[in-house]
């Protein structure tokens, strides 16, 4: 089969880890007899240098003509955020991309590979039990998009407003994604809200409970977000699928990936109603380690694996990537510094290809 993939490597470590993901996908293509056409396009600071825009039309056109988008990361050093090249780069590049393709469901696996138990920042006995969580975060609604927003007034009366708003339709469609995912996992959904305080959370909980009735094989409970952040570090093994709105999901998913040991391990998929999707690591462009050849490429490689599964219906090819990653980690020798090794980005990519 032939597929067109839009490749938006982005800034700093983006191109470094992307090169390894492409190498791995090409190896998968060879092994399983598929042809991937990788169409590169600029995004973020890299696009700014060329077009004075963070998401130029040329890039959107390439995305529109593809079966899926594989994205690296955008952004500059934290100390340079106010320079025009980096100002609001995530808002300008990533939010419109998600909105344009209506990618309302963000799937972020947080799995502690047994071989990496020592990289887990939690107590040894918790790490040794392991965990395998899938966070499903609503991505195009809630407080990050709600209107009205903005500032008014002056002096001590100046105010800033954001609006947390969810419609029944928005909650329903992302809840279905979470329950369907749970059906092929350990059959449990924990929905995160703040229904003791927020009206939008009360609707969230009502709708999730309604959707749950369509999935009698899946257990469903709700948890307040403050408790959930605490439970996640006390007993992460209790969770299977975590379902959350945009802001709570943003926070919870970073925490969940963080306890696996490194942001460099966190893959993600952003999906809409069809098979089209955007796949990217959970971490950012990591300017602090860029150019040194030590960035962990596994998040990008595993994001490529998610792309095969969710956009290209290649379940066994996707599993082959996961197995190869597990094999290399179990081998214990080839690891980048963030997970306790001394290998380079390229050596890790080569080892995954070899394992495949």
Question: Which of 23, 111, 194, 309 is the catalytic position?
Answer: 194
Task: Determine contact, residues 346/23, Cβ cutoff 8 Å.
Answer: no
Contact set for ligand NAD, span 176-195 (CB under 6 A): none
Q: Which stretch binds ligand NAD (CB under 6 A): 131-139, 163-171, 233-241, 286-294?
A: 286-294
Q: Is residue 226 among the annotated active site residues?
A: yes
Indicate which single residue of 142, 283, 304, 305 sits in contact with ligand NAD (rule: CB under 6 A): 283
Task: Determine contact, residues 294/16, Cβ cutoff 8 Å.
Answer: no
Question: Which of 226, 235, 288, 323 is the catalytic position?
Answer: 226
Size of the site for ligand NAD (CB under 6 A): 23
Q: Which stretch binds ligand NAD (CB under 6 A): 175-183, 208-216, 225-233, 292-300?
A: 292-300
Q: Is residue 124 among the annotated active site residues?
A: no
* Of 141, 245, 253, residue with least CA distance to 192: 245
Question: Which of 102, 162, 254, 350 is the catalytic position?
Answer: 254
Give the integer Cα–Cα distance in Å for 318 and 208: 30
Indicate which single residue of 141, 284, 341, 349 sits in contact with ligand NAD (rule: CB under 6 A): 284
Task: Determine contact, residues 46/9, Cβ cutoff 8 Å.
Answer: yes
285 near ligand NAD, rule: CB under 6 A? yes
Widest CA span of the chain, in angstroms? 66
15 near ligand NAD, rule: CB under 6 A? no
Give the integer Cα–Cα distance in Å for 244 and 225: 9
Phi, psi of 154 (to 5 degrees): -150, 170
* Of 307, 333, 323, 319, residue with least CA distance to 355: 323
Query: How far apart are CB 332 and ligand NAD at their closest, in Å?
Result: 18
* Of 30, 29, 28, 23, residue with least CA distance to 7: 23
Query: How far apart are CB 207 and ligand NAD at their closest, in Å?
Result: 28
> Of 113 and 179, which CB lies nearer to ligand NAD in the complex structure?
113
Map residue 242 onto helix, strand or coil.
Answer: strand
The residues that touch ligand NAD, with contacts defined as CB under 6 A, are: 13, 17, 73-76, 78, 90, 94, 263-264, 280, 283-289, 295-296, 299, 338
* Catalytic residue annotation: 144, 194, 226, 250, 254
């Amino acid at each position: 089969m032939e597929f067109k993939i839009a490749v938006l490597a982005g800034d700093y470590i983006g191109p470094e880890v992307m090169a390894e993901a492409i190498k791995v996908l090409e190896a998968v293509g060879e092994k399983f007899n598929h042809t991937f056409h990788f169409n590169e396009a600029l995004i973020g600071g890299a696009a700014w240098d060329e077009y004075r825009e963070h998401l130029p039309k040329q890039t959107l056109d390439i995305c529109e003509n593809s079966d899926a988008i594989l994205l690296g990361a955008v952004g500059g050093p934290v100390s340079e955020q106010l320079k025009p090249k980096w100002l609001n780069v995530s808002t300008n590049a990533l939010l419109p991309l998600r909105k344009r393709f209506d990618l309302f469901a963000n799937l972020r696996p947080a799995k502690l590979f047994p071989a990496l138990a020592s990289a887990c920042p939690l107590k040894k006995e918790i790490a040794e039990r392991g965990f395998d969580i899938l966070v499903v975060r609503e991505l195009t609604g809630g407080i990050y998009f709600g209107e009205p927003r903005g500032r008014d007034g002056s002096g001590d009366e100046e105010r800033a407003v954001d609006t947390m708003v969810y419609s029944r339709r928005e909650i329903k469609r992302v809840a279905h994604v979470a329950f369907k995912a749970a059906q092929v996992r350990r059959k449990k959904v924990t929905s995160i809200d703040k229904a003791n305080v927020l009206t939008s959370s009360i609707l969230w909980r009502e709708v999730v409970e309604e959707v749950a009735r369509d999935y009698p094989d899946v257990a469903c409970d709700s948890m307040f977000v403050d408790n959930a952040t605490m439970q996640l570090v006390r007993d992460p093994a209790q969770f299977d699928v975590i379902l959350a709105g945009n802001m709570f999901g943003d926070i919870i998913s970073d925490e969940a990936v963080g306890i696996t040991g490194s942001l460099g391990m966190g893959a993600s998929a952003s999906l809409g109603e069809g098979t089209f999707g955007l796949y990217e690591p959970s971490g950012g462009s990591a300017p602090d380690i860029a150019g040194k050849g030590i960035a962990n490429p596994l998040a990008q490689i595993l994001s490529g694996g998610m792309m095969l599964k969710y956009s290209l219906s290649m379940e066994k090819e996707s599993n082959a990537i996961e197995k190869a990653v597990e094999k290399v980690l179990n081998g214990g020798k080839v690891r980048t510094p963030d997970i306790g090794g001394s290998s380079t980005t390229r050596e890790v990519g080569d080892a995954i290809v070899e394992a495949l």
